[in-house]
Amino acid sequence: MSQTRISNYGFWLLNIAAYATWLTVALLVIANLPTTSLKWQAAGYFLAFGVVMGFFLYTETRAWLPHLYFAIQLALVLQIYYLSPAHAEHVQTLLFVLSAQSMLFLSLYWGFAWVIVFFIAATQGLLHAIGWENWLLALPMLGGYLFFASFGAALQQANNARRHNEELLAQLQESHEQLKAYTTQAEELAVAEERNRLAREMHDALGHRLTVAVVQLEGAQRLIPKQPERAAAMVGTMRDQLKVALADLRQAVATLRSPLADDLPLPTAVSQLSHTFQEATGLPIHLTLPDTLPDLPTSHRLALFRAAQEGLTNVQRHANATQAWLSLTSHSDQITLTVADDGQGVQDSVGENGRFGLQGLAERANQLGGTAQLSNRAEGGAELRFEIPIC
């Protein structure tokens, strides 16, 4: 089975030390062999050992390759042992290198198992050369094998730590890219939301004022021939309304501050709105306001005020009504504003401006966790119901 990791092997010092040891042992052993035939045999084994050692870096691609590698190298070392028993203590140095490599690329269990195998093989070769009665002389070699095994294990830990840091860095970079994407998306959503809010403010602030001004202008136009003084008064009122509309426009474009920024109580603001609308249009408004209201955030007060504006504006534009009702009621967990009329009810022919205004009210209500509904009344006419929860 393939391993899931390929180490980025950077321990070139270990490679250099391994090949330096291999070359030194090879020269020492070959130079002291008595015959040319033995020298060529030993040279072949040493050359094979060096070549196979060059492929060690690629053994991690399969789980079984390191074990095959160590088996081949051990067989070559044993062959060299038997060619030159007198130099067993030199040849075993190659097993020190293999011990470090086994702990470097194998698990602790398998690495230690191979170290024990190398120690047994070295002990067998040494005792074959010096005699089995001298077995105590082989025990000090165990310390050497443990030392090189510890060195390989330390390199493996360092390599694993480096690999872990690289993975963490890659994850951090990926998270950074995701955060950049999320930030860009959040900025785009914020721009879209602000654009929609500006559109609502422009529609709600100016639509009401301009509707009233248009009604007054039409009335003044009809009264000019017969009642010029009353027509002049209506024009004066229209001028005042347009001044207020202009102020609202500047306010919406410059700061988007609400018309309630001066902390005017909501019932008072709604009462003034109703009175101004009734004077401008001549449409009777039956107003119902609570004696007290809980403290509301500016966003809630502005939304309710805009709902009253939009409701009265729609009555004037679309209802063809003779009277209207504006009510503001407060309950334990919500506050409700209704604008009703006795006109022709909800019509499918409502223009785009009417739809946009209702859409803006629905968006306002949704942002505050409430609802906005326009429906027909059982008594005739239409009713706008705007409800938001009390924080």
pLDDT at 289: 93
Q: How far apart are CA 210 and CA 213, in angstroms?
A: 5
**Domain boundary, last residue among 82, 107, 138:** 138
22, 94 in Cβ contact below 8 A? yes
Domain range for residue 388? 265-391
57 found inside a domain = yes
H or E stretch covering 382:
strand 382-389
Domain count, the chain: 2
Residues in a beta bridge with 328: 337
321 found inside a domain = yes
72 found inside a domain = yes
pLDDT at 261: 43
- Cα–Cα–Cα angle for 210, 214, 220, nearest 5°? 140
208 found inside a domain = no
pLDDT at 63: 76
345 found inside a domain = yes
**Domain boundary, last residue among 115, 138, 161:** 138
158 found inside a domain = no
The single-letter DSSP state of residue 360 is H
The single-letter DSSP state of residue 135 is G
pLDDT at 60: 67
299, 368 in Cβ contact below 8 A? yes
Assigned token pair, 191: 């721009």
Q: How far apart are CA 210 and CA 285, in angstroms?
A: 19
Assigned token pair, 277: 């609308």
pLDDT at 341: 94
pLDDT at 198: 64
pLDDT at 322: 92
**CATH code, domain with 291:** 3.30.565.10
Tokens 């306001």 label which residue? 289
241, 209 in Cβ contact below 8 A? yes
Kind of pairing, strands 334-341 and 382-389? antiparallel
CA distances from 7 to 71, 136, 166 (A): 21, 40, 12
258 found inside a domain = no
Q: With a threshold of 0.75, does the pTM exceed it?
A: no
pLDDT at 323: 93
Q: Which residues of the chain have pLDDT under 50?
A: 1-10, 254-259, 261-262, 351-354
**Domain boundary, last residue among 101, 123, 138:** 138
241 found inside a domain = no
